[in-house]
Structure 1
Amino acid sequence: MSEDEVARRWWALQPGSLLPLSGGGSLLLLFPGRPGGRCGPDVRDAVLHDGTQELVGDVELHVRASDWQAHGHQSDARYNNVILHVVLICDQTLPPRHQDGSPLLVCSLYDAVITPADSSSVCWPCQRLWPQMASEERTHLLTLAGILRFEEKAAHFVRALRLAEALAPFSTYDVCLIQALAEGLGYGRDRRFFRACGQRLLGLTNHLPEPEGHSLSPPPLDAARLRTLSLLIARWSVTGAWATFRPALSSKTTRRAIAELRAALAPLSSTRSDILICNVILPFAYAIALTEANTALAEQARQIYLSYPALPTNQITRAMSRQLLLPSEPRQACQQQGLHHIYQETCRAKRCGICMAGKKLL
């Protein structure tokens, strides 16, 4: 037996299946989640119900219950969000524990009833609505969701700017922006570690958390990004980070603005630069505009964001494109961000009753 067999059985489960717990009782499966990434739990964002409340979190798959300890998950903070340990063999009586000491529920799939797949068994409201919508209507809704995400990020920066303090040679704006850019370099990798590295390079802390995977040093890709971060911060200590990006926002054309913003992030690749521009720099500029009551800057940041071409695909955009039965992924970054917004706000927990993507049919 292998973990591939456990995974096969997990993904064969249908929503509505009862999952028996080794300690007694059961959980109702509402949504099996999505496959995990290179590090951390095997399944992300599953939705279960214990008879009283919904549980939204990760699931770890093993052949034996004792594999939790054998793999060191009891001392790994990345597994603190695991809500269910799914196994084939329950070979221990005491429940495993998270790194924070809390107990973990265990389910053996040997005791679960697997219902054969039925294409008509589950159809979410959005999956009935979206195929009926015109392309323009879908684009409009995703754009609206993308704008909401943009404004939420800007509001977060407004709050962060109020708490930030200048640290020579960096201004208050730079201290806030550089921390966010450092964290952005860790998107899809280890955000907490990258943000801490940025804070250390700024002189805000001497502490660094352990990199994911409990390695003595970060993986080669992470190490390369950290070297680039160090180079950029050294450059901005002379030119200023915000002062470097601000002129590009005033470019006469969006294409020129994007080119100048990418150049300001060299030697980062254009792919990674685009991710930072859309997720960090443009909403940060909008936050500055709100703080300074600068309507021209606000309009510049918003228009560049709305015109930005698509970013690289990721797990969320792929999962949401499948969920909404889209013929293809959106071609604009704003609409991709709309997929992220819908996912984080409602689809992750399957809160269909208030979801902007399907509530018209409820």
Structure 2
Amino acid sequence: MREDFLHYVWQQQYFDKQNLLTETGELLTVLHPGFHNTDAGPDFLNARLQLGEVEWNGAVEIHLRASDWHRHQHQTDARYDQVILHVVLTADQPVLRTDGTPIPTLALAGRIPLEMLHTYQQLQTAPPATLPCAPFLTKIPEITRLSMVDRALLERMERKSATVQLLHQQLDNDWEATAWHVLAAGFGFRKNTEPLARLAKALPLRILRRHRHNLLQTEALLFGQAGFLSAANEKAEDIADEYVQMLRAEYEFLRHKYDLENTGLKEHEWNFLRMRPANFPTARLAQLAALLHARPLLFDALLSAQNVAVLEQFFSNESSVYWRTHYRPGRAGKVPALGRSSMHLLITNVVVPLRVAYARSVGQTEQVEAALQLLTELPAEKNHVLALYEGLPFTHRTAADSQGLLMLATAYCQPLRCVECAIGSRILRHNSALK
């Protein structure tokens, strides 16, 4: 059993309260269990209890064993002096405040419904790579499943937008620069997200803006700072390639002009392993250069787009002729344009979090809903995580569903946080004699 289960039992009051006594024999009545505290300090705050004839207001601390109080060093922490009740599964020793006064203890062993305990254990011991609640889902109302996926979707986008807001602060509250950074990282498509994020830091937007009208110079800055034009790594095919030599000459000039010495990446920092040429980071850099060349105002365009069709048009920019026929410097091969599925990933992972972050920063909460609405225009995603939900009674028609299910899987199902999930909570309540 995990401590979060006892938190759930206490918060919902799912235990037998007849003849409720503390370990010292005091009659206990719970008037209000308190409010769950997600910060440091006791687990529940502002609880109201009656011990004997006296009403108490204060905090409640919860442990599996009473001895955990000492194991966590609460006896020396003044924040826990406000605790008026110690709720445990097993009371194996008395506990004291910092001043030595005893704290009443309530042991719940034998008071939690056996059916609920059995269901909880079943959820917690589900086989790996399975959905713990799958056997129970047919008993869960559709509205509960839908609302939990919606909640998980919002949590996922809020988490992503929080990262964008932090980046925005680091970039002196410049939304255009923020758009450049998140867009660059997005073009990494997971395997090269981290090096592309570092490339954005190594190549400020203010420099790119000055040369965006010249595609050759834009490419030279991107490929040069990415480490693909280094003379130290020059290969025979590069020497024979006139376009690569033009890029290198442009980069050498711009590198000295903007003092970009030793700020870029190295070629070996990019991932090419087990990737098709269309997904090579060099192909993505060429597509990013074409986008910067064609779209002078990134943030305004991403913020004002009314629908997915407009955003698809935003991302529809042909790479230069050279990069349509070369997948690496000096290496010929046909490279397709940015596909719709890639555009949809950029909308999901870049545009929507960026717009949610902006809406939160300016207090336009209605724009959060408008940003999430974009996801309902995109088709559902498919991957090994989402495969867990196939054949189960979950709606999975759009990217909004996909993103909600991904959050549900990674934040609740896989770490077995069933008691914090509306679906898991409903299952436990359904299997409680106290429901």
TM score, norm. by length of structure 1:
0.53
1:212 aligns with 2:271: yes
Counterpart of 1:246 in structure 2 is: 303
Distance 1:197-1:163 versus aligned 2 partners, 3 A rule: closer
8 Å CA contact 1:125, 1:358 repeated in 2: no
Q: Distance in 1 between matches of 2:144 and 2:180?
A: 37
How far the C-alpha of 1:259 sits from its partner, in A, is: 0.6
Counterpart of 2:133 in structure 1 is: 126
Alignment of structure 1 residues 1-362 onto 2, 5 Å? 122=127, 125-165=132-172, 172-202=174-204, 205-208=263-266, 210-212=269-271, 219-222=277-280, 223-236=282-295, 239-249=296-306, 257-267=307-317, 268-295=338-365, 297-305=367-375, 307-318=376-387, 320-322=388-390, 326=392, 330-362=396-428
8 Å CA contact 1:158, 1:287 repeated in 2: yes
Distance 1:220-1:285 versus aligned 2 partners, 3 A rule: closer
How far the C-alpha of 1:146 sits from its partner, in A, is: 0.9
8 Å CA contact 1:165, 1:175 repeated in 2: no
Q: Distance in 1 between matches of 2:126 and 2:371?
A: 45
The amino acid of 1:132's aligned partner reads K
Question: What are structure 2's unaligned runs of at least 5 residues?
Answer: 1-124, 208-259, 318-337, 429-435
SS in 1 for 2:269: coil
The amino acid of 1:190's aligned partner reads N
Distance 1:151-1:260 versus aligned 2 partners, 3 A rule: same
RMSD over aligned CA atoms reads 3.2
Give 1 or 2 for the bigger CA radius of gyration: 2
Counterpart of 1:108 in structure 2 is: none
Aligned-residue sequence identity (percent) comes to 23
SS in 2 for 1:290: helix
| Larger CA deviation: 351-360 vs 281-290 | 351-360
Q: Distance in 2 between matches of 1:246 and 1:321?
A: 33
Distance 1:185-1:234 versus aligned 2 partners, 3 A rule: same
Q: Distance in 1 between matches of 2:289 and 2:153?
A: 31
How far the C-alpha of 1:150 sits from its partner, in A, is: 1.5
Could you give the per-residue CA deviations for residues 70-127 of structure 1, whole angstroms, max 9, x where no partner exists? Answer: xxxxxxxxxxxxxxxxxxxxxxxxxxxxxxxxxxxxxxxxxxxxxxxxxx98486412
Could you give the per-residue CA deviations for residues 8-52 of structure 1, whole angstroms, max 9, x where no partner exists? Answer: xxxxxxxxxxxxxxxxxxxxxxxxxxxxxxxxxxxxxxxxxxxxx
Q: Distance in 2 between matches of 1:235 and 1:201?
A: 18
SS in 2 for 1:315: coil
Counterpart of 2:325 in structure 1 is: none
Distance 1:148-1:121 versus aligned 2 partners, 3 A rule: closer
How far the C-alpha of 1:155 sits from its partner, in A, is: 2.3
Size of the aligned set, in residue pairs, is 224
How far the C-alpha of 1:228 sits from its partner, in A, is: 0.3
Distance 1:259-1:283 versus aligned 2 partners, 3 A rule: same
8 Å CA contact 1:317, 1:329 repeated in 2: no
8 Å CA contact 2:164, 2:182 repeated in 1: no
Q: Distance in 2 between matches of 1:154 and 1:180?
A: 11
Q: Distance in 2 between matches of 1:280 and 1:232?
A: 15
How far the C-alpha of 1:218 sits from its partner, in A, is: 9.4
The amino acid of 1:247's aligned partner reads S
Counterpart of 1:254 in structure 2 is: none
How far the C-alpha of 1:330 sits from its partner, in A, is: 0.6
Question: What are structure 1's unaligned runs of at least 5 residues?
Answer: 1-119, 167-171, 250-256
The amino acid of 1:280's aligned partner reads V
8 Å CA contact 1:275, 1:311 repeated in 2: no
8 Å CA contact 2:146, 2:395 repeated in 1: no
How far the C-alpha of 1:151 sits from its partner, in A, is: 1.9
How far the C-alpha of 1:355 sits from its partner, in A, is: 4.1
The amino acid of 1:321's aligned partner reads Y
Q: Distance in 2 between matches of 1:274 and 1:212?
A: 22
Distance 1:125-1:361 versus aligned 2 partners, 3 A rule: farther
Could you give the per-residue CA deviations for residues 251-287 of structure 1, whole angstroms, max 9, x where no partner exists? Answer: xxxxxx1111111111332211111112221221121
